[in-house]
Chain A
Amino acid sequence: MIRYRKLTVRGCGQVILRELELALPERGTAVLLGPSGCGKTTLLRSTIREDEDDPDLEVEGTIELNGVDLRAGSVSRVAVRQKIGLIPQRPVAFPGTVLDNVTFALRHTTRLAKSEIERRARLALEEVGLEEGLYARAADCLSGGQLKRLAIARTVALEPDVLMMDEPSSGLDPLAVVRLERLIMRLSEHRLVVVVTHDLHMTRRIADEVHFLWPFQDGCRVVESGPPERVLELPARPETRLFVQAAWNGAAALYELDEELEDCEAEECLPRRLTLVEDETGRPSLGAMTER
């Protein structure tokens, strides 16, 4: 499991995350939700110590994986990145074939035999569902969905304990998203998969737990955590409610809740069940989702 303690991250001259506390389980899918700019990507990047590649990022606090402090001097950056794989929002194809792309990191970070490297690469490609006919094709000829899968295969081939995906469904068509969701669910059977997304439908289908982050004036923090049904249907916090309402009901909800949030004090904002109604059909949208 991953545990963040008093994680403060500064970047571009401001505090992005402030004293963030978060614990993620050993396996399953944890979804990080929150408005753009609330530090979700920064959280993922800090976990694999990207602050060491980017002097703009400054990280304080501790991040533990199964009790080991990932930021300790005795733990190498390479070791962290072999345990935790980060799949970026916009993957870039490496030069060469699809298979080259997957063997690349294995060739340059391990001393495995060539045959073993290829075996693991093929296994990873199979796991993400890229057909064998594509292996010899130039990677920059792949479609957006295939490229996302390739990026996942590149990471899965290293057999990490944790996979982190930054907005995996962005730019994909609905069918590709469903395929991706199935892949995420399969991958999360044996490991922890952390997903950053704005897609609440996807969240509802794949998440075992949801963590909601909110950008406060002095930095971002986790304001609410729980199972997806609870957080998405009965948000305890006004920030979450605003976000969820906006996602289901669109702009109309936003104006209403914006005011509510402005003069909201803790007691006034008690949990209440949202009447999530889709404008056109009149059916509760969450009900519709549960049916799926």
Chain B
Amino acid sequence: MRAASFGAAFVVLAFFALLVADVVMRGAAELSPTYLFSAAEEGGRAGGIGPVLVSTLLVVLLATLFALPVAAGGALLCSELLVHRQAWKSLVRRSFEILVSAPSVAIGLIGWSLFGQLFGLGFSILSGAATLAFMLAPLMALAFLAGLEAVPQALRAQSLALGVSRWRTLLNLVIPAARPALVAGVMLAVGRAMAETAVLVLTSGISTRMPQDVFDPGATLAVHVYHLAHNLPGGEPRAYAAALALLLVSALVQLGLARLRVQEQPA
């Protein structure tokens, strides 16, 4: 049993190490500060990924911001308001579960026709972020819900019994107690957003020009890697460099978010 667990862990880690080693070995030669911050030329086969980095951060930030209130609202609805209404609660939860498992290409197509065409946003960072938010919201909501439900009901009940209002109990007791799980939910969503391609190819496009505002198109790093590797002849070396940059940026963002997970002592 023990050997099997260690074996399984080893296989996973070895695979991950191999993957990172491959990307580092093939991408490191191209990676430099100039590469990271200068403009792309020839669709990315020359020059850098400065505009792509900006587009990535914009799309991920906006998508997370759009999804956050929806996810928080949905999770709170389920865990706090519908706590005694099992039928409604499981309906909301089921809808999240179905949305989470929806294929991203389908969501991309819906986003394109809704935001790109109907709302006239075309290929744009805004359209990409809004569509991506549809994917992130249920993912975050389920993670939030798991965190909120892990807070014992007795904690809520005992705060209410002291005359503290429902709202203050939630804000000052339940949410702080669930905080590590809530941050983990955001990390999960941000990671997903960083890695997403199908949705964004169809909505925020593959442009490597510096976006002037959120109505401009802009490729994210993952989309850029995909485009370089598959659609541009001779793009492969640069695809590895961009993939390495994606790994580094993702790791940095996740490390930053992980700092929020640590429980502070309430004053």
List the interface of chain A (C-beta within 8 A of B).
Answer: 48, 50, 53-56, 77-82, 85-86, 88, 90-92, 94-97, 100, 104-105, 108-109, 151, 154-155, 158
A55 in contact with B263 (CB, 8 Å): no
Number of B positions contacting A (CB below 8 A): 22
B159 in contact with A105 (CB, 8 Å): yes
User: How far, in whole Å, are A53 and B155 apart by their CA atoms in the complex?
Assistant: 13
Query: Which residues of chain B in 149-164 are interfacial with respect to chain A, using CB atoms and an 8 Å cutoff?
Result: 152, 154-155, 157-164
Residues of chain B within 8 A (CB-CB) of A81 are 160-163
List the interface of chain B (C-beta within 8 A of A).
Answer: 84, 152, 154-155, 157-166, 168, 172-173, 176-177, 263, 265-266
Selected A-B contacts with CB under 8 Å, 20 pairs: A50-B160, A53-B157, A53-B166, A78-B165, A79-B163, A85-B162, A88-B154, A88-B158, A94-B173, A95-B177, A95-B266, A104-B159, A105-B159, A105-B162, A105-B163, A105-B164, A108-B164, A109-B164, A109-B165, A154-B162
B160 in contact with A109 (CB, 8 Å): no
Residues of chain A within 8 A (CB-CB) of B155 are 92, 94
**What distance in Å separates the Cβ of A75 from its nearest Cβ neighbour in chain B?**
12
Residues of chain B within 8 A (CB-CB) of A82 are 163
User: How far, in whole Å, are A96 and B168 apart by their CA atoms in the complex?
Assistant: 16
User: How far, in whole Å, are A50 and B154 apart by their CA atoms in the complex?
Assistant: 13
Closest residue of chain A to B156, judged by CB? A53
Residues of chain B within 8 A (CB-CB) of A151 are 158
Closest residue of chain A to B161, judged by CB? A86
**What distance in Å separates the Cβ of B78 from its nearest Cβ neighbour in chain A?**
16
Closest residue of chain B to A94, judged by CB? B173
B159 in contact with A95 (CB, 8 Å): no
Q: Contacts A97-B265, A108-B168, A108-B172 hold; do A92 and B154 have CB atoms under 8 A apart? A: yes
Q: Contacts A92-B158, A94-B155, A95-B266 hold; do A158 and B173 have CB atoms under 8 A apart? A: no
A56 in contact with B84 (CB, 8 Å): yes
Residues of chain B within 8 A (CB-CB) of A55 are 84
Other A-B pairs, 16, CB within 8 Å; known A108-B168, A155-B162 = A50-B160, A50-B161, A80-B163, A82-B163, A88-B154, A88-B161, A92-B158, A96-B266, A104-B159, A104-B164, A105-B162, A105-B164, A108-B164, A108-B165, A108-B172, A158-B162
Residues of chain A within 8 A (CB-CB) of B154 are 88, 90, 92
User: How far, in whole Å, are A88 and B156 apart by their CA atoms in the complex?
Assistant: 12
